Amino acid sequence: MPKDEVDTVTQYLIQNFPERPRPAAVVVPGPVEAAIKTLAVPTPGSRPHDPLATRDGAIWYTGQLSGKLGLLDPRAVRSRNIRSRRRQTGPHGLVEDKDGATSGSPATT
């Protein structure tokens, strides 16, 4: 980015994407047991990020470098990819709607 545009872009980002307060930590009293499962992603090097835990227990993520959305299903202990209908996308960010449907916001690369 040209040096003379840095301040303009910085001000735009500050104005349009303000910092959000972090939620307060929740302290769980007493001992806690946790089980951790690891699943390999179907496309190595896809740069999985932006995880979203949905109400059905699934974990969705974006595979930005592969143009795919990923789904980890801990109940079935499996993972799979869903290819975008658009070519050359870099999906980024996920949301779950009121009916439980999940979608990503593709960013053209």
Per-residue pLDDT tens digits of the chain, which is 109 residues long? 788 999 998 898 888 878 888 888 889 899 999 888 777 777 888 888 888 888 888 888 888 788 778 888 777 666 666 666 666 666 667 777 777 666 554 443 3
Flag whether the pTM goes above 0.75: no
Residue 83 CA to residue 101 CA, distance in Å, equals: 16
Burial pattern 92-108, b for ≥16 Cβ within 10 A else e, equals: eebebeeeeebebebee
79: enclosing H helix or E strand = strand 78-83
